[in-house]
Amino acid sequence: MTAASREDARRHVVVVGAGPAGLAAAAAALAAGARVTLVDAAERPGGQYHRTLAEEFGGPHDGGSPFARLRRRVLGHPRCTWRAETSVWALERPDPEQPGPPLVHTLTGPADGNGRRRRVLTPDALVLAPGAHDRVLPFPGWDLPGVYAAGAAQALVKGERLVIGDAVLLAGTGPFLLPVAASLLAAGAGLREVLEANPAATVARGWARRPWELTAQPGKAAELARYATLLARHRVPYRTGRTVIEARGEGRVEEAVTARLRPDWSVVPGTERTVAVDALCVGHGFSPQLELPLAAGCTLLRTPAGPAGEFVAVDGDQLTSVPGVYAAGEITGIAGAPAARTEGALAGWLAAGGEPAAPALRRVRRNRDRGRAFAARLAAAHPVGAAWPGWLRSETVICRCEETDYGALCRAAADEAGAAPRVTKLATRAGLGPCQARICGPIVAELTTRLRGAPPGGPAEGLPSAAPHRRPLAQPIRLGELARTPDAPDTGTTDPSDPTDPSHPSEPTDSKESTA
């Protein structure tokens, strides 16, 4: 067997997303002997998590962190093809008679540049790890300048050293508010208070459920204690059961109206308070990026709570409903980077054809299960209350691209003949703008369902259901790029000089790594 044909015989694993889950998947797949193509829209690996945290712990050139070692190991591996600044714009599903992973259509080059290269990847297995983005529930005035998504605010203070404001309010729900608060304080912003919308009882009950599980997450408890100390030192109050229900200002935010909330997030009348602010940061958890799993044909799992109640359904091996397609990280449930890493390691190893009974996997699976339990705990402690639409007014903008307001959604829902989701979308234009419903889609779907009841029946044969995350074109592509023939199919073959013997898998985790 020649070296080249031996390379061709290796499994080709394509990993989409180079955040914690994707990097771990790539490392594990390489360890299992596969050829790996790792693609990410960013210039450098790390995803949302390391974009910020790598800097917090010493900046991007910190060569000694576990993340830096992992990154070097994966990117420098002879069997790994790293495609930076590469977006997946389409997944092409195979014939239903021959189920398997889709072809992966990519574009490489700066998003605003001309002439990105089109490639088609032909994976033997696909690991989807696209992550999640900030979720912000709309409220009156949320579209005023000076109102930031919490994650965007964090990126601004860290990436661009911007001091968001001197009188800043941070509101929403979830433990992610704490690192955002820390970043704001570190940048010198004047943080006035942190508001957790859920009442203390909900938070405590959620975290205290099955307390024996928490012993598996000692790092989390220490982290929380650290943040609590930080807030206390800066005399920033952390209040529960209160949130921002309105932002006001002429041309930019000048004051925020906060109010006490019941457990279902309905406003307790008479508890409204007006606070002068020059910036407002809001975060209500995260929305998984589901367009690629949907394009691949993966079944989603509906969880009862709120507008982000959909995730990719996976089995114990991180395998989705589509043969050869694995999912890892926040798209299977919001659980943070450590959980994403273990899911990625498991998915990458198995996608590469690694031995499912490998002893090292036992620990990975155990950690993965703990990660899932943590996700469930997180969701229970920081739910989105069902009564949040009570904040909305008729003129509150819901879709910012098309400036569709809540009143337009209400009118569309009241029109019996035009109430089908797709018809409503075309009529109100909510979700038709440049962001293609990435921001408002799940919220519009939730509001429409509340106003109208669940959409009737299933979709007609051949037509997809009106999923808010469905975007057959996963990313915009220029007409000129689309018209060009793609480069010849890329099977991920690299220089066939790799000495690794795939019959001896190494443990698919970071733990055995020596510093390179």
Give the interface with another protein as residue ranges (CB under 8 A). 90-93, 96, 105, 114, 120, 295, 402, 415-423, 426-427, 429, 432-434, 436, 455-464, 466, 471-473, 476-480, 482-485
Q: Which is nearer to another protein, 37 or 217 (CB)?
A: 37
Give dist(CA 466, CA 464) in Å, integer. Answer: 6
Q: Which is nearer to another protein, 72 or 429 (CB)?
A: 429
Q: Which is nearer to another protein, 258 or 320 (CB)?
A: 320
Cβ 21 vs Cβ 341: under 8 Å: yes
Tokens of 81: 């093809």
Cβ 248 vs Cβ 141: under 8 Å: yes
Tokens of 403: 């400036």
Minimum CB separation of residue 448 from another protein in Å reads 11
Q: Which is nearer to another protein, 221 or 473 (CB)?
A: 473
Q: Running DSSP on this structure, what letter comes out for residue 140? A: T
- Give the CA angle between residues 340, 341, 344 to the nearest 5°: 85
What value does the CA radius of gyration of the chain take, rounded to a whole number of Å?
Answer: 23
Minimum CB separation of residue 429 from another protein in Å reads 6
Cβ 109 vs Cβ 117: under 8 Å: yes
Stretch (H or E) spanning 164: none
Q: Which is nearer to another protein, 190 or 297 (CB)?
A: 297
Minimum CB separation of residue 413 from another protein in Å reads 12
Q: Running DSSP on this structure, what letter comes out for residue 201? A: H
Q: Which is nearer to another protein, 357 or 417 (CB)?
A: 417
Q: Which is nearer to another protein, 310 or 402 (CB)?
A: 402
For residue 147, list its beta bridge partners.
280
With tokens 């990975």, the residue in question is: 364
Phi, psi of 109 (to 5 degrees): 140, 165
- Give the CA angle between residues 407, 412, 415 to the nearest 5°: 130
Minimum CB separation of residue 455 from another protein in Å reads 6
Half-sphere exposure of 147 (CA within 13 A, CB side): 27
Q: Which is nearer to another protein, 199 or 293 (CB)?
A: 293
For residue 255, list its beta bridge partners.
248, 276
